[in-house]
Structure 1
Amino acid sequence: MTRVVSIFLPDLATDRIRRADPAIPADQAIAVIAKSGSKRWVAAADMAAREAGLRVGMPAAKAQALFQGLMMVDANPVADATALERITFWALTHYSPIVAVDGLDGIVMDTEGADHLQGGEEPMLSGIANRFRLKGLKARVAIADTWGAAHACARAITRDTVIVPRGETARAVERLPISLLRLPPKIIGDLRTLGFRTIDELSTTPRAPLTLRFGPEIGRRLDQMFGRSREPIDPVRTADLVEVTRSFQEPIGAAETINKYVGLLVIELCNELQKKGLGARRVDLIVHKVDNSIQAIRAGTAKPARDVSWLTKLFKDRTEKIEPGFGIEKLTLVAVMSEPLDEVQRSSSLVEEEVKDITPLIDIFGNRGSRVYRLAPVASDVPERSVQRIGAAADDVAILWSHQWPRPVRLLPHPELAEVIALMPDHPPVSVKWRGKRRKVKRADGPERVFGEWWIRNSELEAVRDYFVIEDEAGERLWVYRAGDGVDGNTGSHKWFVHGIFA
């Protein structure tokens, strides 16, 4: 069953202004002013302005009088639309093969078969909200069975995310206002005049009188919301995307036929990529069915590629997931992510050099939903900052680890608090209680002092950690540290933590 994600950007206009000028203070209230002739009114306001009492539609003069420190910026719908389109293209390459702009302030995505790449629906939605927040964009994210339900729930919630369970669309939207049905404002106003307030009231009303008075639009939106009629998402496209298409006079559905035309499309795509000197990193197969529905399959590569046989194999391994239904009328293959790829001349020596390339294995695991990456060093003495994730096929990092002291094979995601008996300030622990188990220390080595990085965080100007390698009676070796130097309270809390485990 299709699952649709709606991303609502309630403060897109003001967020765009802040992103364009990072010098704007975080607590500065911003209002976007629209004008028509001599009339000027508030078209958008950020959280600080709304808390001061500003509302969309308020006259600009009243808003300025209400908040003297208000920053007023003229509305720029073209810039807002361009920003939304750019965000949509970014989402296309990161989350789903089927992504489109949803109105003036949102994005809609079909995530069928794509959520497992993000760890499931809940981690995917939380990740989207957090990622947008890091980019300076406030987002509310909802997932439901239909575009209409996801759109309405994203705009009705006050929290960051909401998940509408499969098959529970009616219960989720019945109490929502009719303004969330994506109907023209004139129809919404007339319905309110007639006494309609919620979607449930409208959906339980006989269809014929509504159609006679307002036309088929109300019934169409209700059917789309409740899944009684399909609402395909037309994926966003840019002129620089490499795309090839094959339409069929007679619908196809057999697996052999699908694989045959996928192979032909891969050849065409690779030819187009070669003309532009590009290699594909992420390729989407868009399946257009005769019942007006769309299905998509995504394949990614660890390095830029335009090897016909390999790209064909990546898709043929997954075409079994295609559900042709009543038939497929068009197949589209599009390289949504591509990078420069130069031709490599093969060696002409009599003895071929053995080259071990594990990129195909990385591609197989990656397309099955596994997160494949490598760990690389970072120039930092703080252990949790001295490592980073890089692409599995990325170039080697020039920085090397250069620690005189041993490092554990497993670093915990976060240091875990432990109860330690130790003589202050420099003696190693004699007993450690961690995860409910008391360990008597048999051997210990240390301390290794690690200083805070004041150029990253002001709070680390005086901070230090004293690390010890300890071994208990069972032979288990742990990496523990005391926050602080054991004397000065400004250097740390003097609490003990377990940070790693040795082999």
Structure 2
Amino acid sequence: MEHRRILSLSFPHLGAERLLRRGSDPAGVPLAVAADRGGAQVLVSVSPTAAAAGLRVGQALRDARAMCPHLATRWEAPAAEAAFLFALSRWLGKFSPWVAEEAPTGLLADVTGCAHLFGGEAALLAQIEGDCATLGLTVQAGLADTVGAAWALARYSGRRAEPGRSGDAIDQEAPATRSRAAKRRHAGPAAGSPPRGRIAAPGSTRTAIAALPVAGLRLDADLVAELGRLGLRRIDDLANQPRAALARRFGQHLVFRLDQALGLAPEPVSPARPETRFAARLSLPDPIGLEADVMAAVDRLLPALCERLKRKGLGARRIRLECHRADHTMGAAEAGLARPSWEPERLRQLLAMKVPGIEAGFGIDMVRLVATETEPVKVHQHRGHVEAADDAKARLTGTPLDDLMGRIGARVGLERITRVAPSDSHIPEKEVQILAAAWSDPATGWSAPAVARPHLIWPPDPVTAPESPAVPKQFRWRNRDMTALSASGPERISPEWWLDDPAWRTGVRDYWSVTCEGGERLWMYFAHGAGLSSGWFCQGAFA
């Protein structure tokens, strides 16, 4: 039976070396990447030169500057580092098709059956180190039968378990206690034996990682410190202990990590699914600068892009036009659709509105179309020849409302086009909801309320009037004395008792449509609540 072979790569200086590769910082000057952690500025990555000066990850920035006054610092860019790690995962794909990222600074690869293509496992690691040296990166590699063992070898091979410096460590107790503790230990590799190396031979995982520190099991720092105080500093110290006692004292997580490293618990390598990109580009022999030439390039690219979308059953929801200029700059324009589509005619209309806003500069030598957002397009089953003909006509001309929203959205933005839809509530201000028209369907079966609602609704304004359910003849509202000529109502509305809405703590309301002497038609209500919540209020006005 062939053993699985897992390769683990660690880039201990990834953040700093990514900046050094750009050439903006001198190679000989110590460089560190800083970030805010818990309200303090600490180092999250250091260059090899800074590490040689004694700086370390997790150190306070002020302490690092005191140790190294000529230290150059840059702020952390998590998105850029994640993109760089993804690029490295694509590079590692030349050695194995099964590659996974181990954020933030590691990679995993299942190289089972791949090492012989590169001259063996040792030659494989040598080639990886050579490629990383060419890329200006420091790499630590480990190869074993399990993910946990490979991870430990990559990061702790050649490092011995450091003795604890705490006063309550077992090795610092009385000589009699230390002798009894030594007798309790089972036989294993000697404490001073050298590590086995970064490559664990097939079937010898336990022997290869026995002398490594317990931190190689991917444990928390607090748990590692607690184990060290008890004299359990190496992996074989844990492997020789009864599992039940370890689980009771330190929890199942410790035993699970140990079993993963020894191959007793499965841990698969889960590679990230490759992102499907829908794009098409056209490289031009000579730079162009006319709108007609750009649209001619778009006409050549759109059919190929839409055909790819159609084969996948997807439609473009947002499409970007990139015009790369001869001076290595780029002009871009994006257009959104109210409904996803793979029809070139509908996409072309929107792109034609965006082309005039792109500057040609010294000339455009490459045009690229990218469907940045895609959604599934449902295929409709026709019920007859008439419906099929209508559907074919709709595909050619597009849905008029969707095309109109697309053209208006190209000018003002799709998010600014809204529609009103009914809501499941009898509260006046909650009866309707405003939705983005491009991401919602028109409401069907919507019936108007039995009592007309005002055109303007605002938060209730207090009205000075006698505290009586009868509509007052004289009242004062917004510092104005008003006289009521007529009133229609009431419409009694109760609050939603299952919700605690502060605006409806006034209790039951009786709404009236009150026509005033000055021509105003107000929407007023009397609240039957107790105390300050009762009385007359004005909440809206009719046109």
Q: TM-score, normalised by structure 2?
A: 0.45
Larger strand percent: 1
Greater Rg by CA: 2
Q: TM-score, normalised by structure 1?
A: 0.48
